[in-house]
Amino acid sequence: MSDSAQLNHTTDERIKEFSKLRKALIRPELGGIVGTVAVFTFFLLFAYDSGMFNSRGIMNWSIVSAQFVIIAVGAGLLMIAGEFDLSVGSMIGFAGMMIAIFSVTLEWPVWVAILVTFAMCLGIGALNGFIVIRTGLPSFIVTLAFLFILRGLTIFLPQVIVRKTIIGGVKDVAEGDWLAVLFDGKILTGLFSWLGEEGLIATFERGTRAGQPIVSGVPMLIVWAIVLMLFGHFLLTRTQFGNWIFAAGGDAEAARNSGVPVNKVKVLMFMMTAFCAAVFATCQVMEFGSAGADRGLLKEFEAIIAVVIGGALLTGGYGSVIGAALGALIFGVVQQGLFFANVESSLFRVFLGVILLFAVILNTYIRRIITGER
């Protein structure tokens, strides 16, 4: 069997050749790609003059999209592994509040505050996973409990400690901190000022920063989004662990019979989701300079919607990280685009509901194609 055993593929006359369209349809990213093209086409046609596509406008929707991407990567991997995490939004609020309490109220160095917060979030993620594995309860219920537990603590702790639900002043203490820069800094500032000098992007015309570009660089938030997306995609499609993620979500019992450490995979994916929530929270706290008890509200659902638009099946075992990221991009572009196009922002929710329904129906249809169910 050393050299290519001569495979002489006789074709079975009963196997219908799949049409190109059907073949393309079973790629999980397809919905995301089509949606992205549609959304950009729409806004290029109807909101081109609104400033949505100048440097500031692009940065505006890119940042919002990047936020969605960060949590969608975690939620996507977890959903493919067959579980949900409804505590993502509360975790964002909780993590932000912890950083603020540690760094501002307790006056710890910011990098210590960030590291301790990440450790706590990973611990809570692991606990979520552990409870799901041990009790066999649906993760939906377990993480719903943590949605309330964490949100409650996020409101309770600052009230007890400083009698407020918003803690500010993070920006001042984070000044010059080596770890905070990883969440707050900007890269490619040189490129952007060159672009500004060349007149390729808009610059300030007056004031102390006259001549400098309005958009001075790519925020770390966007870098995190891209890095997490590439990492997740690579992990899922190119590694042994990725195969285990699909297997754990596809059929946990069958995977166990084949020697896949399903419990380990699921717990690690809960931790991955928690990590993504902590990244989101840290970026947000560093950007706003404050932590509020209501941060991250409804983010868990937005993450799940982005993942579903990206082609993942709610039942697990099928999906794509790139798809989830495209779902997040659609999300961000539409949310900000409606604002640029001067459309009443409440309509965004209507759009969201419609596209969610459409995506789920499409995914179910695709599932039938793959599994041959009728």
Partner 1 sequence: MNQEERPIIQMHNIEMHFGSVIALSGVSIDLFSGECHCLLGDNGAGKSTFIKTMSGVYKPTHGDILFEGKPMHFDDPRNAIKAGIATVHQHLAMIPLMSVSRNFFMGNEPIKKVGPLKLFDLDYANRVTMEEMHKMGINLRGPDQAVGTLSGGERQTVAIARAVYFGAKVLILDEPTSSLGVRQTANVLMTIDKVRKQGIAVVFITHNVRHAFPVGDQFTILNRGHSMGTYRKSEIDQNSLMTMMAGGEEIQDLEATIQGEK
Count Cα atoms within 13 angstroms, Cβ side, for 150: 33
- The correct pick among 19, 240, 342, 346 for binding partner 1 (CB under 8 A) is 240
| Nearest to partner 1 of 42, 231 (CB atom) | 231
Question: CB under 8 A: which stretch of 8-16, 118-126, 179-187, 188-196 binds partner 1?
Answer: 8-16
Interface with partner 1 in residues 277-336 (CB under 8 A): 313, 317-318
Per rule CB under 8 A, is residue 21 in the interface with partner 1?
no
Per rule CB under 8 A, is residue 263 in the interface with partner 1?
no
Question: CB under 8 A: which stretch of 9-17, 158-166, 177-185, 188-196 binds partner 1?
Answer: 9-17
Per rule CB under 8 A, is residue 77 in the interface with partner 1?
no
- Beta carbons of 56 and 117 less than 8 angstroms apart: no
Q: State in Å, rounded, how far the first CA of the chain is from the last one.
A: 39
Per rule CB under 8 A, is residue 50 in the interface with partner 1?
no
Best CA proximity match to 303, nearest among 342, 331, 284: 331
- Beta carbons of 96 and 153 less than 8 angstroms apart: no
DSSP bridge pairs for 186:
219
- Sequence-distant (6+) residues with CB within 8 A of 344 are 338
Query: Over the Cα atoms of the chain, what is R_g?
Result: 23
Per rule CB under 8 A, is residue 251 in the interface with partner 1?
yes
Per rule CB under 8 A, is residue 258 in the interface with partner 1?
yes
Q: Taking the complex as a whole, how short is the minimal distance between the CB of residue 231 and partner 1, in angstroms?
A: 12
Interface with partner 1 in residues 334-353 (CB under 8 A): none
Distance (Å, rounded) from C-alpha 244 to C-alpha 77? 11
* Tokens of residue 84, six digits: 């949900």
Q: Residue numbers of the site for partner 1 (CB under 8 A)?
A: 1, 4-5, 7, 9-12, 15, 18, 26, 238-240, 242-244, 246-247, 250-251, 253-255, 257-260, 313, 317-318, 367, 370-373
